[in-house]
Structure formats: C-alpha cells, structure tokens
Amino acid sequence: MKPSVLRIAGFGFRREATIKSLGQALDQLIDQYGSVYKYGAVYKYGLINRLAAARSMLPLVEELGRLRNIEVIAVADAELSTVATLTHSTHSLQARGTGSVAEAVALLAAGPNARLVGPRIISADRQATAALALGFARKLPVLDNTALKIASKYSFTPRKLRFFVDFCLV
C-alpha cells in the first residue's frame, strides 16, 4: 500500500495575532516553499493538505481553515515539549517548552517520521509563525464495530489511537 505525502502547516502565534497575521504567514510559507503547478495554472493552496495548531490555540487557526477551505488538526499542548525543532525562540521555550511552537505542531500533526521542509516563517507583523512538515499517511485498516466502540469509550489522543490501531488491531 503506497503512502501519500502529507503537507502540514503548523502555527504558533501570540495572543495579539489576528487572522491577517496567520494568513500572511501561510502565504509567505507557500511562497517560500513552492506552489503546485498543474495544467498551466498555479494552485497555491494545493501545497498544504492540513493546517495544525496546539489545542489551546485552535480557534484562530480553525477560522483560517474555514476561510481557505483547509482541514485543521489539533495537537495536544503537553506534547509540544517532546519535539526537537530547527529554531529556538526564548519566548517559545519559556511559554511552551519548545524552541518553536509552529515547528513542533507541524511535526506532531504530520505523524511519525515527519520532517520539516525548513525553518519556521515569521509573519510581517511578527505575531505569528508557520512551519511546513512532510509526513506519510498510510491507509489504516478498517475498524470493526467492536474496535470503534472501544476507541470511542476512551478519549484517545491521535498518538494513542495510532498505537491502538497499529498494535491492537493489525
């Protein structure tokens, strides 16, 4: 079964950030790391499969996702400090325990063996950052009703659900 490439844009931002800050960071990320060229036209947002944010920062990114018609993934705040990032912001280290919230979120959302395309991008107003991570999505086995009941009974984080599927059902 051939895996498909996931292109996840992760976001980090200050409380003062606006939807304009996030949109500008996303546009800059796309400009920096390329666009998809098909049939004589450039599809800018074809580069990004999903947007991602820490659960505590989700509402603003969800708004951007609605505006751009891109699905949004939430990442557990507690997992941010478990990820090694390319860049290191003193503010991010103190506030969130990671060198870059955007890079950590992108890597976590893209899954195991994900990698960053490059360092985070900082918006023009310096209120938001965005990072692009590549991951591989493999098709999961179909869950039968018993497995679905077990999974829905417990509040699985994405990482725990992956463990459940990988080790308990396969």
Domain that holds residue 35: 4-139
Helical ranges in 49-122 per DSSP H: 58-68, 90-96, 101-110
What is the model's pLDDT at position 25?
A: 97
What's the sign of the alpha-carbon dihedral 60, 108, 162, 113?
positive
Type and span of the H or E element at 135: strand 128-137
Same domain assignment for residues 24 and 54 = yes
Same domain assignment for residues 110 and 47 = yes
3-state secondary structure of 122: strand
Same domain assignment for residues 159 and 135 = no
The mean pLDDT of 123-148, rounded to a whole number, is 76
Same domain assignment for residues 145 and 98 = no
Q: How many domains does the chain have?
A: 2
C-beta atoms surrounding 161 within 10 Å: 15
The token pair that represents 66 in the structure block: 């609605």
Among 104, 102, 75, smallest CA distance to 11 is for: 102
Same domain assignment for residues 47 and 100 = yes
Same domain assignment for residues 147 and 134 = no
Report residue 1's pLDDT band, with 50, 70 and 90 as the boundaries: very low
The mean pLDDT of 13-36, rounded to a whole number, is 89
Same domain assignment for residues 49 and 128 = yes
Same domain assignment for residues 45 and 103 = yes
Same domain assignment for residues 115 and 146 = no
pLDDT tops 80 at residue 62: yes
Same domain assignment for residues 129 and 154 = no
What is the model's pLDDT at position 170?
A: 40
CATH code of residue 48: 3.30.420.180
Same domain assignment for residues 28 and 100 = yes
pLDDT tops 70 at residue 84: yes
